[in-house]
């Protein structure tokens, strides 16, 4: 399937955001925590919408 690479990139970015949340909490940085949470929401949302579009087109 030609879209596996895109899903892998999105999952790696999401995992990095989750790790960033943990690091930001350890560093007691509110702003970095909020930034990582926002990045995670954007990444996960784009992944789910991309998957929905592929499913609607019958390509998944």
* Block mean pLDDT (10 aa), the chain, length 60: 84 97 96 97 95 87
Torsion of CA 36, 41, 45, 47, to 10 degrees: 30
Contact assessment for residue 43 and residue 13, using Cβ atoms and an 8 Å cutoff: yes
Q: What are the C-alpha distances in Å from 60 to residues 3, 12, 40?
A: 9, 20, 23
- Look at residue 1 in the predicted model and tell me its pLDDT: 61
What is the Cα–Cα distance from 52 to 60, expressed in whole angstroms? 9
Tokens 């909490």 label which residue? 25
What does the pLDDT read at residue 36? 97
């Amino acid at each position: 399937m030609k879209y596996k690479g895109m899903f892998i990139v999105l999952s790696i970015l999401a995992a990095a955001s989750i790790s960033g949340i943990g690091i930001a909490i350890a560093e007691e940085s509110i702003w970095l925590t909020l930034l990582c949470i926002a990045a995670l929401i954007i990444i996960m949302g784009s992944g789910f919408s991309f998957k929905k579009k592929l499913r609607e087109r019958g390509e998944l």
